[in-house]
Amino acid sequence: MGEYTLSKFFQNVLLSFAMAASVSAWYSQAGFSIMNIEILTVPVFFIVVFALSLVIAEDVRNSFKKVLWFEKRKDKRPIWQVGIGMIFFFAQVGFVETFARGLMSLDLGGMPLYIVFSFMNAFLLTVIYEEIFFVEDQEVAEQYKFKKLK
């Protein structure tokens, strides 16, 4: 795959899913009957938007990297973690809003329960994903190590 690694592919698919789910959730309540056509409980509109989102996902990721000055940072790890966590969070929220709207009514003291679970899951998935895919720059890692005390 060369430059296009498995990590980037996975991020782009999740980002596309989050974008497609959000757009589908926005338009699912519209009065147009074409928005409500489903194949095996998957909205056709979602499939179309997902395919279009796959085309632009890489550009969306690169735009966020430019806005957040990712390449100019000495330590990229914190912003990388936030970005991955955001992708996981919005993919889970989008899933509930598009495919499991019944779960949106449950709350935990006024906070929607699906948002609480999405946040907790995003944190755990970010840690797991980081262990699998994050490659730390050795030069940056060296400046954070402590010297041994005698």
| Coil/strand/helix, residue 112 | strand
Nearest-5° Cα angle at 114, 111 to 119: 85
Q: Say yes or no to pLDDT of 16 above 90.
A: yes
The tokens describing 82, both together, are 């936030």
Count of all residues that appear for the chain in the document: 150
Look at residue 3 in the predicted model and tell me its pLDDT: 47
Q: Say yes or no to pLDDT of 136 above 90.
A: no
Q: Check if the beta carbon of residue 118 is closer than 8 Å to that of residue 93.
A: yes
Instruction: Give long-range contacts, CB 8 A cutoff, 24+ apart: 53-59.
Output: 53/15, 53/16, 53/17, 53/19, 53/20, 54/12, 54/13, 54/16, 57/11, 57/12, 57/13, 57/15, 57/16, 57/19, 58/8, 58/12
Cα distance between the two ends of the chain? 48
Look at residue 110 in the predicted model and tell me its pLDDT: 84
What does pTM read for this prediction? 0.78
